[in-house]
Every structure is written in C-alpha cells, then in structure tokens.
C-alpha cells in the first residue's frame, strides 16, 4: 500500500485569494493548530511574494521567516519555499551573487526545501539554483511548470525532468499552477519520471479553479506521486487548492495509505483563518476568487495571480468606461471586462511564444493582454503599449521561449531597434552585493545575521527602503483605513430588517474628495451608490447586478487658458509614478531637453514598470508627481515647453 504525504500551502492559499498574507503575529497563532491537525508532513511557509508582502506591511521579512518556520521544524515538519529561479523572490532577474546568498539566508532562517521554477521552463535558469540550494544544505526541488499548448507535451516535460535530475535536483515538482493540466497526461509524466528514477520524490501542486485538480491528484498518485499540496477552508477550492478533507477519503478509497486529520484542530485553524479574513485581509479578497470557473481553462491563468488580477480589473474599469462614455458606448461591467481579458490572453499567448503562464510571465502576458484591451477601447492599436519587462520576455533576455514570437512582434521589435538575445540570461545581470553593502554602510544600516538584511535590500531595494523609512507601514495603514471606509456596513440589530449603511459626507467647509462608490444592501438587494464631490448621490436606484446607465452629460466649463507652448504628459493608466526604475538610470529634472519617443518616467502597475515616452521634443518645465506617488489615469505627470 503506497503512502501519500501532504503539504499545506498556507502561504499560497492567501496569495491565490488576495493581495496579502497574515501578519507574523497571526501566523504564529495559527501554527499550533496546523501542527495539531496531524495530516501534514510539510508546509509552505515563505517564498514568492511572502517577503515582499512583509515589506509592504512595514514588517521585517527576515524576522517573519525565522519565527514562522520555527514551530514546524520543532514539530518535525519540513518547510518549503517558492523560488523563481533567475528572478529569486521578485518579478525581475536577480544578480548571481544575490541568488547565491538567497539560499544561505533562507537555510539559516529555517527553510528546508527550495522549490525552484523558471517561468519559461528554461533549464539554464534553474541549474544555478540547484547548485546554490545544495551548497547551502537545502533540498533542491526543481519544478516543471505545466501548461497546455502544441509544444508542451508529455515528452517535453519528461525530457525536462530528466535534465533537471541530471543536474542534481533531489526532487521534482509537477507545478500545475493554473490547474489546467489534463489528469491522464499528468499521470503519464509522473509515471515516466518514476520509471527512470524510482527513488526521486515527486510532488504535485495544483490550483482548483478550472475543475481538474481532484481528478489530477488521483491520476498522479496512481502513477507514483509521493507528495500532494493541499488547501483548507475557508480558502480552499476556487482559485486556491483542493481541500485536504476531500483528498484524504478519495485517496483512501483508491487504496492508498493516508494520514487521519484531527478535526478539532482543523476547525480551530479554519476559525483563525476566517478571523484573519474578517480582520483586514478580506478587504483584499474578491468574492469571485472563491468560485470554481471553467472559463479559466482557455486562458490558462494561474490561481496564484487571480487575486491581483481582480484588483487590476477594478482599478482599470473606470478608465475603460470613461473612454467608452466619450465614444458614446455603454459601460462595461467587471464581468464583461474579465471575459474580454480572457479572450485577449488566449489571442496574445501564442503570439508571445507560449510562455508557461506562471510568475512573472503569467503577469506579463495578462498585462500585455489588458493593455491591449484598454488601448483598443480607447481607439488605439493593439500592441501600442508594451512594458519593458514584457519586451525582455519576448526578446529572450529572461530565457528561451518555448516557441518563436509572432512575426508582428518581431517586426515591431526591429522597428523600435530592439535586439533579440540568445545567450545565458544570467549574463545580463552583473553581481551587485558589493554595491548594496556600500549603500548600507553609507546609510548606517546593519547587514544583519547571516547577511540577511543585505540580502533583503539587494532583492527588494525600493520596498526595503520604504519599509525602513516607515513609508510602507504608513501607506498600508492608510489603504486599510480607506478600504474600511468604503466597506458596506450592516447595522442590523437581531430580529430587525436591514438598513442601508450610513454615508458620511465631508463638511461643507472642507475640500470634497473625488467621487467614490459604495455598495449598499437594503432588504437583501444590493445597490451601487456613487458619492460625488458636490454631495450629489448618483445611481441610487441602480441595483448592483445591473449595468450602470450612462449619466446625462452636463455642460463642461471651458478649460482654463494654457500657454500654447505648454504640453502636459498624462498618465495612460493608474499606478505609481517613478522617474527611474533602478539606480542605473538618471532621473529627469526641470530644464532637461527631451526628444519625442524618449522614455521620461515609469508607471508601476500590475507588478511591472510601464515606460512612458515623451510625445514631443521639448524642455521639462515641471515634474508634476513625486516618486512613489499613486496617480490616476489622465493625471498630469510632466509638463514640457
């Protein structure tokens, strides 16, 4: 009777649901209950976005990892982290010396297993991670990023697994990040690995969204899989993972040896997780992420990014509808925009060379598709705005694409003077630790135990500086407060009918804010209420599940006179404004001459830096936004003469 062991991907279930994970004090409260459940041999504690999230909280991620891994190691459970290979813990490539330090730091902090993947399945990006992890005393688990395309066959993934094992991988992970892997094919991949290397442990990781996951778990276990990743309520299923309570009886019925679960502990962990959601984390979780959705099969987008995707749609919907209103078109609902996005992803993906849709390339493909949708809604051409990170993927700077990009993108690259790259991607990113060590000395910052603070600064420079200055915590607290103000409140005492949430308008003698929207529930029916800056309430009679009617246009006052030589560069999307994307660039300043087409600033949105080009030749008169400032679509960024 073959034994199947399980890992609780507690970090990933939060990332799959929304933007944030619990604070360290909350994680330490739930750890004992997870241990008492008794059914998990492993737990995913960190990696991926975990450290960045801590920095956004204004918390020290190194302290968080040390404290979070400790109770599990003491209980005899192995801890594992997610590692993005060339990208380490971030969305962009990392210098080799920073990557090497990464594994030494995480081993010292208590992480046992490095689950490494390359978002392009380029083995060249995984090979150094295998060596670095093993040198640091970690177990190297190398991943196959599962996707379904004409080039991603059973033979393709089998060859990749054999190469990773030849390079020294201790284990193989079948990383079915979107849950689109077909059960029978996945079983064949596992069977091929086990036939050639029966002693190599195989783990299966899958998201539940498209609906294949439970069937896939059964097939891979029949083929010889050793470990299965699982979720638990209230964050299982949907864009998360199959619940352990379903997997255990299913596999037991199939004849496998599986552990029992302590249901009292399960309910305790469930209750605490719900408490964290009710505290503040639910402010960042879309209800739609709790649903299974077979529409996810066609675009193949991973569950882990659905939280951020819904936030992206929310932030861009108003801009899209503003453009539609100007064109005399009816507004789009969020669902309709989602369908448009899915259709565009299915169109864009083959043309970008079938990159596996996993971080960061799932975001790149999704961002490119969303920008196409936005630009076309505004009457502009498809491909008219492509972020530099997306170009790097297309050009091969991040690794070898599974297939050649479409001719339209090849021609566009040539027209813009962009060159394709076929060498080792790591060679594009020189060592950087000495530079960051010098910066820390200059600032009077300690490099930390095992150089962990040096590592964190080198891995996430901008976020680390924001954390150290206190700006990250200040911004985070302000955002939570804003979301709580916008949240619908139910003041119903027991036994009484529901009343609409109170709407508090600003005093008349204070500047009014920009119009904002509330979702108000009255007697079970939800209404979308827009509160405008002049105290008018619009759409009070429009149920939330119906499209908002286009407002009757009011006379627009003539714009204030502007000098003919004044040219205002407007933001094409919502995001954070930066003059540079890294320390190697020189920031623009007043008085500088620029030429048409020159990159003058960046808008960070959807986890990528979007280069903004000048539309004219001219001289900078004013930088109208500050670094890190959140700007809305059509806000003035820079004025020229």
The CA distance from 143 to 266, in Å, is 29
Residues 305 and 189 in one domain: yes
What three-state secondary structure class fits 211? coil
Mean pLDDT of the chain: 85
* Domain final position from 436, 456, 487: 487
What pLDDT is attached to residue 535? 41
425 within a domain of the structure (yes/no)? yes
69 within a domain of the structure (yes/no)? yes
For residue 41, give every residue at least 6 positions away whose Cβ sits within 8 Å of its Cβ, in sequence order, or none: 5, 6, 7, 77, 78, 227
Which CATH number covers residue 584? 2.40.50.100
The CA distance from 471 to 473, in Å, is 6
Residues 279 and 379 in one domain: yes
Conformation bin of residue 524: beta by default, left when phi > 0, alpha when psi is -120 to 50: left
Question: Rounded to the nearest 10 degrees, how much is the dihedral formed by the CA atoms of 35, 41, 46, 47?
Answer: -170
What pLDDT is attached to residue 551? 45
What pLDDT is attached to residue 68? 97
295-338 per-position pLDDT tens digit: 777 777 765 555 566 667 777 777 788 888 888 888 888 788 88
Residues 106 and 173 in one domain: yes
15 within a domain of the structure (yes/no)? yes
Residues 442 and 504 in one domain: no
User: What is the mean predicted confidence (pLDDT) over 369-379?
Assistant: 86
266-297 per-position pLDDT tens digit: 999 999 999 999 999 999 888 877 788 787 77
Residues 475 and 494 in one domain: no
Residues 164 and 262 in one domain: yes
Q: Which of 532, 530, 634, 620 is nearest to 575 (CA)?
A: 634
What pLDDT is attached to residue 306? 58
Residues 507 and 609 in one domain: no
Which CATH number covers residue 85? 3.20.20.70
Residues 92 and 223 in one domain: yes
555 within a domain of the structure (yes/no)? no
More confident residue, 552 or 239: 239
480 within a domain of the structure (yes/no)? yes
CA angle 122, 126, 130 (to 5 degrees): 155
| Domain encompassing residue 632 | 567-640
Residue 491 pLDDT exceeds 60: no
557 within a domain of the structure (yes/no)? no
Residues 503 and 532 in one domain: yes
Element of type H or E holding 189: helix 183-196
User: What is the mean predicted confidence (pLDDT) over 51-70?
Assistant: 91
SS3 annotation, 351-420: HCCCCCCCCCHHHHHHHHHHHHHHHHHCCCCCCCCCCHHHHHHHHCCCCCCCCCCCHHHHHHHHHCCCCC
Cis-peptide, bond into residue 561, ω within 30° of zero: no
How does strand 113-116 pair with strand 139-145? parallel
Residue 493 pLDDT exceeds 50: no
Overall pTM > 0.85 = no
The CA distance from 397 to 415, in Å, is 18
Residues 39 and 105 in one domain: yes
554 within a domain of the structure (yes/no)? no
Measured CA distances, 605 to 370, 385, 468 (Å): 11, 13, 23
Residues 371 and 508 in one domain: no
83-108 per-position pLDDT tens digit: 999 999 988 899 999 999 999 999 99
Residues 405 and 305 in one domain: yes
Q: How confident is the model at residue 224 (pLDDT cuts 50, 70, 90)?
A: very high
User: What is the mean predicted confidence (pLDDT) over 610-622?
Assistant: 89
DSSP state of 120: T
Structurally, the chain folds into a number of domains equal to: 3
Tell me which range, 126-135, 467-476, 534-543, is most confidently predicted by mean pLDDT. 126-135
DSSP state of 140: E
446 within a domain of the structure (yes/no)? yes
% of residues, the chain, pLDDT over 70: 85
User: What is the mean predicted confidence (pLDDT) over 575-579?
Assistant: 88
């Amino acid at each position: 009777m073959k034994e199947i062991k399980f890992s609780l991907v507690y970090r990933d279930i939060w990332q799959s649901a929304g933007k944030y994970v619990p604070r360290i004090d909350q994680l330490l409260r739930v750890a004992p209950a997870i241990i008492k459940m008794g059914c998990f041999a492993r737990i995913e504690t960190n990696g991926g976005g975990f450290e960045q999230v801590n920095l956004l909280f204004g918390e020290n991620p190194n302290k968080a990892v040390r404290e979070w891994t400790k109770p599990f190691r003491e209980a005899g459970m192995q801890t594992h982290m997610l590692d993005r290979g060339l990208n380490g813990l971030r969305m962009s490539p990392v210098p080799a010396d920073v990557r090497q330090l990464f594994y030494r730091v995480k081993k010292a902090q208590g992480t046992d297993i490095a689950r490494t993947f390359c978002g392009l399945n380029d083995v060249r990006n995984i090979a150094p991670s295998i060596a670095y992890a093993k040198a640091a005393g970690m177990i190297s688990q190398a991943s196959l990023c599962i996707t379904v395309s004409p080039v991603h066959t059973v033979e393709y993934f089998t060859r990749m697994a054999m190469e990773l094992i030849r390079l020294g991988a201790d284990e193989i992970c079948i990383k079915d990040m979107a849950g689109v892997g077909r059960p029978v094919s996945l079983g064949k991949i596992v069977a091929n690995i086990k036939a050639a290397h029966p002693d190599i442990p195989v783990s299966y990781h899958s998201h539940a969204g498209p609906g294949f996951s439970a069937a896939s778990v059964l097939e891979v276990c029949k083929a010889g899989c050793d470990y299965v990743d699982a979720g638990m309520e209230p964050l299982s299923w949907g864009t998360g993972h199959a619940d352990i309570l379903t997997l255990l009886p299913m596999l037991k019925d199939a004849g496998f040896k599986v552990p029992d679960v302590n249901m009292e502990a399960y309910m305790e962990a469930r209750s605490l997780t719900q408490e964290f959601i009710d505290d503040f984390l639910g402010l960042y979780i879309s209800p739609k992420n709790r649903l299974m959705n077979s529409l996810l099969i066609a675009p193949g987008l991973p569950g882990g990014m659905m939280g951020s995707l819904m936030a992206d749609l929310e932030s861009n919907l108003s801009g899209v509808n503003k453009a539609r209103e100007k064109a005399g078109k009816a507004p789009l609902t969020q669902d309709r925009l989602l369908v448009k996005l899915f259709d565009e992803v299915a169109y864009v993906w083959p043309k970008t060379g079938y990159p596996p849709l996993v971080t960061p390339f799932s975001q790149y493909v999704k961002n490119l598709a969303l920008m196409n949708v936005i630009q076309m809604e505004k009457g502009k051409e498809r491909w008219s705005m492509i972020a530099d990170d997306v170009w790097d993927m297309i050009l091969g700077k991040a690794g070898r694409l599974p297939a050649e990009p479409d001719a339209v993108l090849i021609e566009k690259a040539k027209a813009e003077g962009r060159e394709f790259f076929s060498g080792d991607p790591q060679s594009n990113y020189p060592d950087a630790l000495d530079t960051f060590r010098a910066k820390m000395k200059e600032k009077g910052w300690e490099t930390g135990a095992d150089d962990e603070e040096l590592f964190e600064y080198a891995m996430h420079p901008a976020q680390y500086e924001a954390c150290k200055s206190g700006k990250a915590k200040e911004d985070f607290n302000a955002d939570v407060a804003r979301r709580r103000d916008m949240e619908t409140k139910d003041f119903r005492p027991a036994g009484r009918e529901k009343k609409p949430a109170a709407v508090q308008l600003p005093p008349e003698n204070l500047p009014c804010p920009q119009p904002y929207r509330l979702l108000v529930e009255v007697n079970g029916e939800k209404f979308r209420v827009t509160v405008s800056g002049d105290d008018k309430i619009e759409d009070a009679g429009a149920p939330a599940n119906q499209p908002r009617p286009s407002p009757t246009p009011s006379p627009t006052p003539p714009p204030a006179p502007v000098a003919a030589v004044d040219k205002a560069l407007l933001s094409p999307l919502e995001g954070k404004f930066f003059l540079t994307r890294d320390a190697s660039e020189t920031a623009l300043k007043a008085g500088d001459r620029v030429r048409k087409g020159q990159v003058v600033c960046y808008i960070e949105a959807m986890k990528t830096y979007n280069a903004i080009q000048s539309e004219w030749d001219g001289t900078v008169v004013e930088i109208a936004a500050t670094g890190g400032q959140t700007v809305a679509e059509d806000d003035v960024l820079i004025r020229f003469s």
